[in-house]
Structure 1
Amino acid sequence: MAKFYVQSGNLRTVVQAESSRKAAIWAVHEAMQQVLPVDDEFSHSKSDHDGSVMSTVIMLAKRITISERGFDRSDAAVMSTLEVMNEWNQMVTTLDRLEQMMHHAA
């Protein structure tokens, strides 16, 4: 897997992914965890050493830039944040349906 530098608004993160699109989706997932925690482990990892929640709020811009070469690159791929968020939402909805199906089958 390749390493991607993803940025939007005040979000700057490095992600290992199979493609730039998947890296963008993961970055949106990280940002959305502050609003809609899907993973308890993630929410605990974003706490300060004393257990209080960190005060930095991730704010995304209208566009997400993704590069394999670094941050602030003029040659970075650009994606609509709304488009990536829609894909993230579809993924989370599908995972929720799968979890419900597995729960009902058990």
Structure 2
Amino acid sequence: MAKYYVQSGNLRTIVQAESSRKAAIWAVHQAMQQVLPIDETRFSETPSHEDGPPRTVIMLTKRMTVSERGYDRSDANDLSTLEVMNEWNRMIATLDRLEQMMHHAA
């Protein structure tokens, strides 16, 4: 798998993925975890300020850039953040349906 530099707004992350689009989807997943935790172990009874220093809120812009060569590259792949978020949403919905099917089969 290749290493990709993904950026949008204040998000800058390095992701290993099979393609630039998959790297962008994973970056959106990281950003969405702050507002919609998927893993139940991330829920906490204590306020986040007691868990350690406050984290920076990730803010995405309309476009995402993905490059194998580094940040701020003019040759980076330019993607619509909304399109990538829609793909992420479909993926999460599919995983949820699979989990429900497995739960009902058990």
TM-score (norm 1): 0.89
- In the TM superposition, 1:13-92 aligns within 5 A as 13-40=13-40, 51-52=51-52, 54-92=54-92
Distance 2:43 2:5 in 1: 22
What residue identity is the alignment partner of 1:90?
A: R
TM-superposed deviation, 1:39: 1.7
What residue identity is the alignment partner of 1:89?
A: N
Distance 2:2 2:61 in 1: 24
Name the structure 2 match of 1:94.
94
Unaligned runs of 5+ in 2: none
TM-superposed deviation, 1:86: 0.1
TM-superposed deviation, 1:53: 6.3
Identity %, equivalent residues: 75
Name the structure 2 match of 1:7.
7
Would you say how many aligned residue pairs link Structure 1 and Structure 2?
A: 103
Contact 1:5-1:66 within 8 A present in 2 as well: yes
TM-superposed deviation, 1:51: 1.6
TM-superposed deviation, 1:55: 3.3
Please identify runs of 4+ aligned residues in structure 1 that moved more than 6 A.
Answer: none
Distance 2:43 2:27 in 1: 15
Unaligned runs of 5+ in 1: none
Distance 1:41 1:92 in 2: 17
TM-superposed deviation, 1:4: 0.0
CA RMSD of aligned residues (A): 1.9
Contact 1:67-1:73 within 8 A present in 2 as well: yes
